[in-house]
Amino acid sequence: MKLDRKEILKALETISVAGEGKNMVESGAVQNVMTFGDEVVVDLVLSTPALHIKKRAEVDVMKAIHDQIDEKAKVKVNIKIEASDKPEIKGKSIPGISNIIAVSSGKGGVGKSTVTANLAVTLTNMGFKVGVLDADIYGPSMPIMFDVESAKPISVEVEGRSKMKPITSYGVEILSIGFFTKPDQAVIWRGPMASKALNQMIFDADWGKLDFLLIDLPPGTGDIHLSIMQSLPITGAVVVSTPQAVALADAKKGVSMFMSESINVPVLGIVENMAYFTPEELPNNKYYIFGENGAKHLAQDLNVPFLGEVPIVQSIREAGDYGRPAAMQEGTPVADAFDKIVKNVVQEVVKRNTSLPPTEAIKITTMAGCSAVGKN
Ligand SMILES: Nc1ncnc2c1ncn2[C@@H]1O[C@H](COP(=O)(O)OP(=O)(O)OP(=O)(O)O)[C@@H](O)[C@H]1O
């Protein structure tokens, strides 16, 4: 068997490293290809040490060579990690907060806030100390979902400075812009005002010690997202989507925003909300109203973890409106669904924290992804 180096390079042009738009050869990830009889050695250079991306790159290279060149070729892939040298500013770390998870969705109304609230109570049930920052400036829903609509955070003295005390509900520490506005008042926050308010809720608050701070982001990929990522060392992002094509297309944009070179926040995975409907009287029937496994397939395509699915259940909507997240009802299918998702999230956080250095707040260094900043 004689292997042709040029043919191998051509095969490698058909695959890309997860999160990068260009193919492996064009992006410079393939540093060298050597052939010795039936042996091929491919040297790759990646900018992220994330284990799943390394593994995927190795498997893809082998598959491309076996499928397109020779199935008997002995392929060896050497991977070197070179951190990209893009300039970054150090985010002000928040003393006492171990992990900050941004929960986002490309599209509005897919259940991002519902998922955030239920993740928070499930993590709390598992014994973690959890905070929720409702950064959904345009439609804050945490006060309703945690039944603390009329609460007003008080100011406390911490080391000579006065700080905002989050409201505690079901053991979860909560701050929301909704606490500072009247329920029926339209909130017209321009970018800078919103960022200032958020910064205060993050840095001028007495969060205490938290294992997880979940941030409920507004839908989309706009200026609030950029300003949060500029000021906070985010551990990772969870993207919520429903299974229909229009929601998936926007979720894809959300994932690429986090993975883009200028933002580079690890995506912990995708949650599929409203995955199917099961009527109470026919518990074994599943109706895939919005399509089947859409978000699962998207996760596979984008090579990010799939964290789990949440069915459409009337009690989820009722519990949200009533102010008692549905996952608190232990032993129900909803609680079981969130249990699975939370376990996957925690597993991904652990994986991420062992394979990557702490995320630094990002200084946006290119205009890529910043198109929304100038608007308003
Ligand atoms: N799995 C579900 N089953 C039934 N109802 C759900 C489910 N998920 C969300 N809902 C309901 O759908 C509505 C929208 O959910 P939610 O407010 O969480 O969406 P969102 O994506 O945060 O919206 P926004 O774009 O305003 O931020 C709410 O009434 C909520 O109770």
- Ranges of CATH 3.40.50.300 domains, the chain: 97-355
Nearest CA to ligand 1 atom 28: 317
pTM greater than 0.80 (yes/no): no
Q: Is the CB of 316 under 6 A from ligand 1?
A: yes
Q: Is the pLDDT confidence value at 359 over 70?
A: no
Q: What does the alpha-carbon distance between residue 183 and residue 142 come to, in Å, rounded to a whole number?
A: 12
Nearest CA to ligand 1 atom 30: 317
Q: What is the pLDDT of residues 268-284, one digit of tens each?
A: 999 999 999 988 778 78
E-strand spans in 141-245? 155-158, 161-164, 167-169, 172-176, 210-216, 236-241
CA 234 to chain centre: 10
Q: Which atom of ligand 1 is nearest to the CA of 321?
A: 31
pLDDT of residue 17: 82
Quick one: tokens of 348? Answer: 């991904």
Mean pLDDT (whole number) for 19-39: 85
314-322 helix and 112-125 helix, angle to the nearest 10 degrees: 80
Q: Is the CB of 324 under 6 A from ligand 1?
A: no
pLDDT of residue 227: 74
Determine whether the annotation assigns residue 106 to a binding site: yes
Q: Is the pLDDT confidence value at 349 over 60?
A: yes
Determine whether the annotation assigns residue 113 to a binding site: yes
Q: Which atom of ligand 1 is nearest to the CA of 319?
A: 31
Q: What is the pLDDT of residues 291-307, one digit of tens each?
A: 898 899 999 888 899 99
Mean pLDDT (whole number) for 180-204: 72
Q: What does the alpha-carbon distance between residue 135 and residue 219 come to, in Å, rounded to a whole number?
A: 10
Q: What does the alpha-carbon distance between residue 324 and residue 321 come to, in Å, rounded to a whole number?
A: 8
pLDDT of residue 1: 66
Q: Is the CB of 61 under 6 A from ligand 1?
A: no
At 106, the pLDDT band (50, 70, 90 cuts) reads: confident
Identify residue 328 by its one-letter amino acid code: M
Q: Which of 170, 211, 192, 203 is nearest to 322 (CA)?
A: 170
Q: Is the pLDDT confidence value at 255 over 50?
A: yes
**309 contacts 333 by C-beta, under 8 angstroms:** no
Q: What does the alpha-carbon distance between residue 124 and residue 126 come to, in Å, rounded to a whole number?
A: 5
Q: What does the alpha-carbon distance between residue 339 and residue 345 come to, in Å, rounded to a whole number?
A: 10
Q: Which residue is associated with the tokens 């003295």?
A: 157
Q: Which residue is associated with the tokens 């994986």?
A: 351
Q: What does the alpha-carbon distance between residue 296 and residue 305 come to, in Å, rounded to a whole number?
A: 9
Q: Is the pLDDT confidence value at 373 over 80?
A: no
Q: Which of 340, 239, 242 is nearest to 294 (CA)?
A: 242
Q: Is the pLDDT confidence value at 362 over 70?
A: no
Q: Is the pLDDT confidence value at 158 over 60?
A: yes
Burial string for 139-174 (b: 16+ CB within 10 Å, else e) reads ebbbbbbbebeebebeeeeeeeeebbbbbebbebbb
Q: Is the pLDDT confidence value at 120 over 90?
A: yes
Least confident range from 88-102, 227-241, 283-297: namely 88-102
Quick one: tokens of 207? Answer: 């969060």
Average pLDDT of every residue of the chain? 84
Nearest CA to ligand 1 atom 11: 317
Q: Is the CB of 106 under 6 A from ligand 1?
A: no
Mutate to test the pocket of ligand 1, among 103, 114, 133 (most ligand atoms within 8 A of CB): 114
**128 contacts 211 by C-beta, under 8 angstroms:** yes
- Å from CA of 122 to ligand 1 middle: 17
Query: Where does 97-355 sit in CATH, by number?
Result: 3.40.50.300
pLDDT of residue 225: 79
E-strand spans in 177-297? 210-216, 236-241, 267-277
Nearest CA to ligand 1 atom 3: 312
Q: Where are the alpha helices (DSSP H) in 146-190?
A: none
- Å from CA of 316 to ligand 1 middle: 9
Q: What is the pLDDT of residues 212-237, one digit of tens each?
A: 999 999 887 777 777 777 778 888 99
Least confident range from 6-20, 70-84, 358-372: namely 358-372
Q: Which atom of ligand 1 is nearest to the CA of 110?
A: 21
Q: Is the CB of 344 under 6 A from ligand 1?
A: no
Opening angle at CA 248, ends 105 and 137, nearest 5: 20
For 86, the 3-state DSSP assignment is: coil
Q: Is the CB of 37 under 6 A from ligand 1?
A: no
